[in-house]
Chain A
Amino acid sequence: MFRTLKKFFDFCAEKERKQFYLSIFLGVFNALFIAMRIPAVYVVIKALLEGGLSKKTAYTAAGIIAASIVLQTAVSMKTTMLQTRGGYNTASFKRMEIAEHLRYVPMGYFNSEGLGKVTSIATNTMENLSGIATRCVMVVTKGIITTLVIIASMFVFNWKIALVALGTMIVYLIGTELMIRAERSDSDGATKAQDKMVARILEYVRGIAEIRNFDLFGRSITDVDPAIDDFTDYSTHLETTYEIAMFLLSTLNKLSGVVMMLMSIAFYLNGSMSLVYAVTMIICSFMIFESLDQVGAFNGLTRTIENCVDKANDALSSPTMDIDGKEISPESMTLTVRDVDFSYDTKKIIDGVSFEIPERTTAAFVGPSGGGKTTITQLLARFWDVDKGQILLGGKDIREYSYDSLMKNFAFVFQNVYLFSDTVENNIRFGRPEASREEVIEAAKAACCHDMIMALPDGYDTVIGEGGASLSGGERQRVSIARAIMKNAPIIILDEATANVDPENEELLMKAVDSLTKERTVIMIAHRLKTVENADQIFVIDRGRIAQHGRHEELMKEKGIYKRYISERKEAAGWKLGSRS
């Protein structure tokens, strides 16, 4: 438990950590003020048993309690705010840290699933943490400190009884720790059962179309019930351990209270303690462990905190690149690749590739899927860093550029278009934030999407994306092209899309691509015959190497992948589903 708290405090930033520490320190005072009940009770009992009961006794007791309420309120107002700030700000700063971290992670690193995970950590996990951590730190520290303060004041009355109380508390805390450990080893099984259940459920949910289509109900693959039952059993079993531990710990507290009570009576009977003290001690022995019990009850939550912290640290552990180079304006836009190797997960993707793309020429990359052509185009724009060799822009290694000054030279059109939930105008303007409305419209016209945008309910002010107007695949493509045109970068990296384009958009899309690529260096993953044929150079990439290189006419004369590829493309473009009647 202390380890988890420590882990959490380490996780916090300096300022928040100090806030938590201060709140713990103030907690001591708070505990003292809560414990003021004891002197109040003591005053009354003393007067009751030793005589001298008067109205003054009543006033004194009431005064002490009233003061206790006022002081408690004052101190806990301070601690509550310290802990609230500490908890929520920690979550908030971690979110920022994750966001900052992402700026340095190689762009190619994340697939959509990985990004989904990080998003979930930055939102759900941190939300969970901010609420639970605040509460947990409050209860645990308050419980321990209050108990310690009461024990300390018991030393004033009788050190032997106080020792028993102290001993009990130590055993209790050790017991809690043991319980956490026992749970941890026990929870391995439960975690496995849970992982299995989640995997089975996900498989079922993702495959539901097939399951229904092929009527797979009742087959073992769709039978998730045993996995669910298994997890239920494990959870119940885990709960048993927990209940037994809680039973032992609570009983320990109460029985120790009974022992303390009997000790007080014995000391009174043998004359070493006054009746007043004995009665006060009996009362103490009944209330002493009530806040300690809360500590045990919050144990489950410490595990959640630990999980949250681990997840966030995990998100921050992905590799980063050094992107703080110099501000450089390249002398030319010539891209040179020299003997580049690149591996991903020990699998070699690019293997000793060298080539040059001169300014204002078009380079087309073709080849089988998984051959490495996408990776090559990504390396050119430093989505990753190469393992060996180097890539130069205008004669300078791209790693010498600061990331932003390198990116200024590139515009991208990706296969999967990402548009922000913002107005169409702002989405296009994203390419150049200072652009005027007229410039945005001009770019939209060049990308053949002006008419389509004007037909939207609020024209350029229409919000797209979630909760807004939805655009078809081809329309999104064209908006993304307008965005790239807006950026007016000298090098265009383009993944030519064939899927998800609606027929009436096809021609417009091609026109849009034309206006984007005019007079620029174009690097494209090409699928259309015409674009391939017109390219200044064609690279056929297969198994991480350049299998063929040249112009269309040259390559058509060679026997090889390219020729086969072209004939397949022609066949595909001319595919017909014939009539049968």
Chain B
Amino acid sequence: MKTVETKENAPSQPVLNQNTFSWLWEFTKGKRSTYLVSVVLALLGVACILLTYICLADLIRELISGGKDMHFYVQRGLQIGILWVLRYAFHGFSTYSSHGATFGLIGNARKKLLKKLGTMPLGAVQTRSSGEYKNIICDRADQVEPTLAHVVPEFTANIVGAVAMFVYMMHIDWRVGLWQLICIPAGLVAFGIMMSSTPKYYPNTIKKTKALNSTAVEYIGGIEVIKAFGQSRTSYGKFVKAAKEGADCFIDWMQSQNFWHNFGMACFPATMLGLLPSGVRYCLNGSLAPADLIVLIILSFGTVAPLVTVFSYMDDISKVGEIISDMADVMDEKDMVRPEKSSAQPKDHSISLRDVHFSYKDTEVLHGIDMEISDGTVNALVGPSGSGKSTIARLIASLWDVDKGQILIGGVDIRDMPLSEYNRHIAYVSQENYLFDLSVMDNIRMGRDGASDEEVIEAAKRCGCHDFIMSLENGYQTICGGSGGHLSGGERQRIAIARAMLKDAPIVILDEATSYTDPESEAVIQNSLSRLTAGKTLIVIAHRLSTIAGADRIFLIHNGDVEASGTQAELLEKSPLYRSMWESHIAARKEEA
């Protein structure tokens, strides 16, 4: 897996499909009651606001009717003060519980995603880089939190609050209540025009941002090549152009809607425009008391302004949708279906493939493979690159499930065994050998739970890595570090082989082409591989045909089919393709020898 930590396809069109919402809903399980508490608290907060304004209205009326009793005002003032305290206390608790729920929710999402990586086909897991997973599970999940946590209390408080105030105003005087809304149509038109430019500009920003990101990825990833070819000036020029365009597309978009955006923002909260003249008019004709008008003026601050706050969340919500749908994509991957307990035990370690079909991303790459591999034999898969030989190996290793047909081990379909049990039969040796941030001893011990120190050392000795381990600073207690940081590629690989040795799986799958991370230690690694594979059912994806010239059976894979199989001698006789591959290999070999 790559470790490049970029999200190469930056913002994509937010996909708020059904699936996103149902997945989100599914995830709120267990936290729904907390969210409900948050809503109730937010509503109590709204009630406090309403009461505050009722108190205030009472106070204003008293003041205007000439009340001179300071005690009354102080009393009302205290009431208002207490109501404010309560309001913010409710609001605080509401936000707090919503945050608590959201943090918990994200924690659960993380756990579920990680668990999912254990149950979906390993091949599907590996289609994303570890950097991408970190992005989805760690970074972007964190970005969801503030919005999700605020949506519940803020939406409740602001929307219900605005509506409550409006109703209260309508109750005092419905005509003025309606008049204050006079600016809303203008504001809506402005926002409508603004939104209507989105389809024109949004795709462009996506395009330019993508272009910028891929230019950046290329420029930085290829900096070595760029400098080595003396092209840094030209490539830098390209980057500058992309960076400029990346900024300009947003600036242009903003420019195009600049008037409507600002006009809308100024218009929307301008309740006074309708309220003041209409209020004056009704006061003049005597149908509205002056005190009521003053109360209405104060109340109108609380009707439209909160709605504007709600608007500002809309952007964030669509971003959340985007992130959630990334998570949903992972969660939607098909799981490997395996029973809890196997129904039958394999009688030996032979492997049969029967009419195996497999498609990768809608393209069928294997078209009905039949293979028989006997217990304890050496078998090689050869073929041009892209022929499907690695795919066959990965299917046998249960990294993917077949689409059609079946794979049997000792007569038992591998899908009838739990993965953990099946894995005990198989060792898959490739270049990707991850060592955990534990001691060398514990890393090797992972091969077999409960193995003693002596057994670990014995395995290390057999793989020829005892000596170099002993020369490490703390011997077997040396911590390997993330990705086995302090060890060379060859050393890491030998430790991984020792681990596989300890596991002692009866079937070994070996990808030769990717087996040597480190040419200098090739011979040593080969020696350990020979020991690891001795007496096992062995399947080699062969790179050097001379390596497997003596194999019991060679399968020549071509275009997703088994073109021929047999011993080297048989294949040389009956397969022109094999013959030409062999000749090419020998020509290269002769140069060497």
Contacts and interface: CB of A to CB of B under 8 A. Distances in A.
B454 interface: no
B138 interface: yes
Interface string A449-465: 00000000000000000
B134 interface: yes
B122 A212 contact: yes
A127 interface: yes
B280 A47 contact: yes
Given A208-B118, A215-B419, A283-B298, 16 more contacts: A44-B276, A95-B239, A119-B221, A123-B7, A123-B216, A201-B134, A205-B133, A210-B434, A235-B103, A236-B99, A254-B87, A286-B301, A473-B385, A529-B593, A576-B546, A576-B548
Interface stretch (A162-170, A328-336, A567-575): A567-575
A110 B56 CA distance: 66
A445 interface: no
Q: Name which of B250, B433, B530, B546 has the most chain A CB atoms within 10 A of its CB.
A: B250
Interface stretch (A61-69, A385-393, A435-443, A551-559): A61-69
Contacts of A203: 436-437, 482
A89 B247 contact: yes
B73 A580 contact: no
Nearest to B583: A507
Contacts of B377: 579-581
3 shortest A-B CB distances, which residue pairs? A92-B247, A116-B4, A58-B277
Nearest to A270: B70
A418 B96 contact: no
A228 B107 contact: yes
Contacts of A466: 8, 214
Interface string B265-292: 1110010110011011101100000100
Contacts, number: 463
Contacts of B423: 212-215
Contacts of A41: 272, 276, 297
B490 A205 contact: no
B524 to A, nearest CB: 8
Given A48-B283, A115-B221, A572-B523, A258 B70 contact: no
A102 interface: yes
B225 A206 contact: no
A243 interface: yes
Given A203-B482, A279-B60, A574 B88 contact: no
A65 B134 contact: no
B455 interface: no
A499 B220 contact: no
Contacts of A283: 294, 297-298
Nearest to A410: B228
A503 B250 contact: no
Prevailing SS type, chain A contact patch = helix
A501 B543 contact: yes
Interface stretch (B251-259, B352-360, B405-413): B251-259
B209 interface: yes
B250 A84 contact: yes
A255 B526 contact: no
Contact of A258 (B81, B104, B432): B81
19 contacts: A53-B280, A77-B258, A95-B212, A95-B243, A96-B243, A116-B5, A123-B212, A202-B134, A209-B432, A217-B420, A287-B301, A407-B229, A430-B229, A498-B519, A503-B545, A506-B588, A573-B589, A579-B567, A581-B377
Contacts of B81: 254-255, 258
Given A48-B293, A53-B280, A232-B103, A247 B220 contact: no
A420 B385 contact: no
B326 interface: no
B344 interface: no
Given A48-B294, A262-B77, A420-B218, A62 B518 contact: no
A486 to B, nearest CB: 9
A578 B378 contact: yes
Contacts of B221: 115, 119, 418
Interface in A257-290: 258, 261-262, 265-266, 268-269, 275, 278-279, 282-283, 286-287, 290
A512 B290 CA distance: 95
B429 to A, nearest CB: 10
B276 A504 contact: no
Interface in A220-236: 221, 224-225, 228-229, 231-232, 235-236
Interface stretch (A4-12, A146-154, A181-189, A362-370): A362-370
Contacts of A229: 107
Contact of B521 (A116, A262, A290, A369): A369
B178 interface: no
Given A54-B284, A201-B137, A577-B551, A265 B587 contact: no
Contacts of A275: 63-64
Contacts of A343: none
B526 A369 contact: no
Contact of B584 (A62, A412, A506, A578): A506
Nearest to B272: A65
Contacts of B436: 203, 207, 210, 221
A414 interface: yes
A503 B543 contact: yes
Interface string B438-459: 1000000011010000000000
A528 interface: yes
Contacts of B142: 194
A375 interface: no
B110 A499 contact: no
B382 interface: yes
Contact of B488 (A61, A286, A370, A431): A370
Contact of A127 (B1, B10, B222, B587): B10
A474 B385 contact: yes
B138 A197 contact: yes
Contacts of B519: 498-499, 527
A300 interface: yes
B104 A232 contact: yes
B538 interface: yes
B552 A290 contact: no
Contact of B220 (A102, A421, A569): A102
B472 interface: no
A109 to B, nearest CB: 10
